[in-house]
Structure 1
Amino acid sequence: MSGPRRILVYGVYGAGKSTLAARLAERLGLPWYPVDDLLWQPGWVEVPVARQRSRIEGICQRDRWILDGAYHGWRDVPLARADLVVGLDYPRWFSFWRLLRRTGRRLVTGEEICNGNRESLGSVLSHDSILVWHVFAFARARRRMRAWQRDPYGPPVLLFRSPAELDRWLAGLPRR
């Protein structure tokens, strides 16, 4: 297969990382490993970081993969092996709106997120709310993606500023 075989999709909460990872997996025939499934146990119990890292190392040792995120305790692992980083560098208002819309839908439908976990009104209104996380993580995620793009020693980084830009790029990718 020509083209990237190990892809890290990155962006702030609600940008569309998982949706993009699923689209890339379908288009390129690569296996996608949803990060939320690897990080959260039932009841929103976080997997210990050392175990997260071990799981990610196991995936990243493979020849083909897509991950839809990279977090503090193991971010270096996929970056060291990725052929490509796809960054969703959308405006803050846009990604927050997407997150708000998705969270509302999940509250209404009871949609499972991972390992039996679901959004609840209590979680959305708590200090650990994903909406709060978005507010505080947005600038860091943006700086991180842009720094990766400037790093001559890291993997190539494509930053997309809008869904239209992303769609144009996706349309040009080969199908499996």
Structure 2
Amino acid sequence: MIPITPQRVVFFGVTGSGKTTAAERYAAATGLPLTSVDSDIGWLPGWAERDPAEQLRMVEEIASRDAWVLDSFYRKWSDHLIPRAEVIVALDYPRWLSLSRLVCRTLRRMVLREEVCNGNRESFRRVIAHDSIIRWHFTSFASKRRRIREYQDAGLPVLRFTRPRDLEQWLRSYER
């Protein structure tokens, strides 16, 4: 059963679905502490990935708290986080929607030289790189959608949104 105002919340979905924006809004509305996985756990300056053992240590520390919001999670440490979550907010949008959002966001960041995290910025070189965010969307799309259904089938507390307007309605219920 999902509490009326969950205190340990993780957002999950395909790349470009809007997890970070939704997590930021939920955390602001509820006053819960937000952890941005890419900024706070995953990436260091120069697009260097933080040591996996250090990531796991950080996640275990966060998961042990009574209240938290994470804007995503990495599969390699999900077993340490998911059992503590009161709800997994799953953004399960169609590819055309998440991909169009991702491409627009990436282009905006490139043109405006917006910081992504920890001084890292999108560039044409990053967009065409082997590990580009757009390539990652294609690589991970089916498996992330499958995992959402697996979490539901396993009886985990999943709120699955297939339309942005339904997520919007849910978020607004906390922003009043």
Pick the TM interval, shorter chain.
over 0.9
Aligned residue in 2 for 1:18: 20
Root-mean-square deviation over aligned CA pairs: 1.4
Partners of 2:167 and 2:14 lie apart in 1 by 16
8 Å CA contact 1:50–1:73 kept in 2: the answer is: no
Runs of 4+ in 1 over 3 A off after TM superposition: none
Residues 73-112 of structure 1 correspond to what in structure 2 (within 5 A)? 73-112=76-115
Paired residue total: 173
8 Å CA contact 2:26–2:174 kept in 1: the answer is: no
Note closer, same or farther for the CA distance 1:61–1:132 as it changes in structure 2 (3 Å cut): same
1:44 counterpart (40, 47, 65): 47
Partners of 1:174 and 1:20 lie apart in 2 by 12
1:4 aligns with 2:6: yes
8 Å CA contact 1:10–1:88 kept in 2: the answer is: yes
Aligned residue in 2 for 1:166: 167
Q: Residue by residue, what CA displacement relative to the aligned partner does 1:4-40 show, whole Å, maximum 9, x if unpaired?
A: 0000000111110100010001111111000011111
Aligned residue in 1 for 2:138: 135
Q: TM-score, normalised to structure 2's length?
A: 0.94
Q: Residue by residue, what CA displacement relative to the aligned partner does 1:45-89 show, whole Å, maximum 9, x if unpaired?
A: 001111111111111111110001111220112201000110000
Q: TM-score, normalised to structure 1's length?
A: 0.94
AA matched with 2:117:
C
8 Å CA contact 2:109–2:121 kept in 1: the answer is: yes
